[in-house]
Structure 1
Amino acid sequence: MGRHYDNYWPPYIPVSERREQARAALASLKKKGVDCQPVAVEGRAIARTFWGIKWCRNLEAYSDFANRLPRGRSCVRHGAVLDLQIGPGAIDALVSGAAVYKVRIAIEPLPERDWKAILDECAGKVATLVELLQGRLSDSVMEVVTRPGSGLFPTPKQIDFRCSCPDDAFMCKHVAAALYAAGNRLDSQPELLFLLRHVDPQELIRQAGSGPAADASAASDAAAAGLADADLSALFGIEIDAPPPPAKPPRRTRAKG
């Protein structure tokens, strides 16, 4: 799975040494003024929330990637992904190895017909953006948005990648590490999946008023709009000050005549 010349394979490097190499490479980049967003994996699980887990499972469902993914998992767990940037249609990463390699993963926009089908099938079933991004969706919605081939997750044919390393394999371990790192990043920033596929999650919310369940949920939506400040504070983890009481009008005094 790694590059070899005349049956020569690079020597095995212990995990502790790999981690130290990655830490040193990250420190060097920061010293040079590179604004890095490293990926740190705690424990064995690369992703722990709905969108991150679904992203990783989608990768592992495709036989095209099967032979290259295990070494990518190892790399990301060892802290090799020094920087990860997810934008419209692209994932850019710096991955530590024998050197620091640049990875570019281009992902096609979600086809318009597939996005329209998602909107139509999910109409009236996604109440709030918070519910969507936290993955608190009904089974029917989850089936649609994660549907292989036409859901939000890309297929191998929609992914193009390159790496600056000398490995001439179809997918090197640095690309695989960056793909897994994207799943980890979706744990904390699930909105990046929609940005990556060039679609607006707000459209799913706007569809809530046009689906067959809209009338039945009108009372529930009205109640949600009237959440108390205490509930909002608990949900988002912030303090919301109570509005100040209205000012009393000044007292009028009778002029002495």
Structure 2
Amino acid sequence: MNRYDGDENTERTFAALPPARGRGFAQTWWGRAWLKALEDTALDSAQLKAGRRLARAGSVGAVSVRPGRITAVVQDRDRTQHRADVLLEELSDEQWDRFLDMTVERAGHVAALLDRDMPPHLVEDAAATGIELLPGMGDLEPECDCEAWDHCAHTAALCYQVARLLDQDPFVLLLMRGRGERALLDDLQARSTAPTEAAPEPEGVDAAEAFAAGDILPLLPDLPELPEEPGVPPSLDTETPPPPGVDPSALEYLAARTAAEAHHLLVNALRGVADHPDLPLAQDAVRLAAAAPAPAVLERLADGSGRGREQLALAVRAWELGGPAALSALEDEWAVEGETLARARAVLEAAWDEDERPSLRAKGNRWTAVGTSGQVRLGRDGRWWPYRKERGRWVPAGGPSQDPATALASAEPGPER
């Protein structure tokens, strides 16, 4: 539970949270993205480990959240206390205007925020307008009175604790970016009820005058803005029966997905974002299935990709957590050897204190916590993916982490089932 000190649009203070032993710090995708920004930034994995240990023990005091800064007092094991701050750049007024204009046009975004949810498409739509809501590598800047020059155990513990707050309320992130919940909702309400001015009639040019003007005509106007949504393909619902072997519902679905993918590629091209390369057919079938087609289309995708319906559902679950990399962790088992194996073992050794380290059984790139329903899988990019055993099969349990202990904790393993 949180309490408010002063104006909640400028500061919120959250009471200290209880210890988090045996569970992950972030359950939501945006909470995990916050932790990824920390883990990608910090140079000393030992400090991250110490920070997780402090956060799990409940050593982080009340957390103050203000625009551009989070603050807490963190107590070491020897009971010394340190003030830890983490800074995050605020959005400019112009960026907030663009974010509000984008959000008010889509009622689903507002409804999701009010439900304390931050759907991926909200963040993607913000990014398409040049606004990065979630922090990336190097965005979380540490300050601590222990005078460490990088993330220390105290700032890391603060970040791990804030991930739990973000899980409960994404408005915490928006306050860090510069706007409190009440001010944000008031702005959205004002924009949604503001009268719209009629667009002025375009000025025409007489054809004879244009021809006579020759080479002194004005420059052509700029290209129109990119549509907010992909176009809708024409309906195939006609009175003419389809030829043998042609399924109109499957064709309509493929046309709609092609339009959506073309829109996605164009948005990313304008943003300068590189997309994933052409996918193999088996992976592309999973991408198509992730858009929840009609049952008949889903059946064809399952058959065409060489998967049954149950296996395709697992593949879709993995795809939604991390695309091709997550699908590889689900379906590819590879031998970890040589230098890669040595690095993996070193990371596993450093991830837990000796008295907390679980017994791990290795098979290829998969390490199973003996006696539990938890497993971590090493991706070829060095990230660890959490898995949980349900009804006798291993299922993806969350997004990746640089730290196997965090990944295993996010799977919340219990007695083996």
TM bucket by the smaller chain? 0.5 to 0.7
> Which runs of no fewer than 5 residues in structure 2 stay unpaired?
1-12, 197-226, 230-417
- Displacement of 1:205 in angstroms is 6.3
In the other structure, the counterpart of 2:36 is: 57
Partner of residue 142 from structure 1, selected from 85, 100, 123 = 123
Which residue is 2:83 aligned to?
A: 102
Structure 1 residue aligned with 2:169:
189
Aligned to 1:232: none
Match for 2:16 among 38, 41, 59?
38
Q: Is the 8 A contact 2:41 2:137 kept in 1?
A: no
Determine the structure 1 residue equivalent to 2:157.
177
3-state secondary structure, aligned to 1:92: strand
| Inter-partner Cα distance in structure 2 for 1:170 and 1:137 | 30
C-alpha separation in 1, matches of 2:61 and 2:157 = 11
What is the CA distance between 1:182 and its match in structure 2?
Answer: 1.1
Alignment: residue pair count? 176
Instruction: Name the Cα RMSD after superposition.
Output: 3.6
* Superposition map of 1:101-120 within 5 A: 101-120=82-101
Aligned to 2:52: 73
Take 1:181 and 1:78, find their aligned partners in 2: how far apart are those partners? 11
Q: Secondary structure at the match of 1:43?
A: coil
1:198 maps to what in 2? Answer: 178
2: CA distance, partners of 1:212 / 1:201: 22
Residue pairs, 1:212-223, within 5 angstroms: none
Deviation of residue 175 (structure 1)? 0.6
Distance 1:70 1:150 in 2: 31
The one-letter code matched in structure 2 to 1:192 is V
Cα distance change, pair 53–207 in 1 and its aligned pair in 2 (3 A)? farther
SS of the residue aligned with 2:87? strand
Distance 1:135 1:46, change over 3 A: same
> Are the aligned partners of 1:109 and 1:196 in contact in 2 as well (CA < 8 Å)?
yes
Q: Which residue of 2 aligns with 1:87?
A: 66
Q: Which amino acid aligns with 1:53?
A: R
Confirm or deny: 8 A CA contact 1:47 1:183 kept in the other structure: yes
Shift of 1:71: 2.8
Where does structure 1 lack aligned partners over 5 or more consecutive residues?
Answer: 1-34, 214-257
**Partner SS, residue 82 of structure 1:** coil
Q: TM-score, normalised by structure 2?
A: 0.36
Alpha-carbon spacing, 1:161–1:57, altered in 2? closer, same or farther (3 Å):
closer
Q: 124, 139, 148: which one pairs with 1:168?
A: 148
Q: Which amino acid aligns with 1:161?
A: P
Task: State the AA in 1 paired with 2:157.
Answer: A
Q: Displacement of 1:168 after TM fit?
A: 3.1
From 135, 158, 162, the counterpart of 1:154: 135
Cα distance in 2 for partners of 1:52, 1:139 equals 12
Query: For the residues of structure 1 that align with 2:83 and 2:21, how far apart are their CA atoms?
Result: 24
- Residues 42 and 110 from structure 1, CA distance in 2 versus in 1: closer, same or farther, beyond 3 angstroms? farther
Give the CA deviation at 1:90: 1.8
Q: Report how far residue 46 of structure 1 moved.
A: 0.6
For the 8 Å contact 1:145–1:151, the answer to whether it is kept is yes
**Alignment CA distance shift 1:63-1:192 (3 Å):** closer
TM-score of the aligned structures, taking structure 1 as reference length: 0.54
Task: State, as a whole percentage, how many aligned pairs show the same letter.
Answer: 26
Change in CA separation of 1:139 and 1:176 when aligned onto 2, cut-off 3 Å: closer
Cα distance in 2, alignment partners of residues 126 and 57 from structure 1: 29
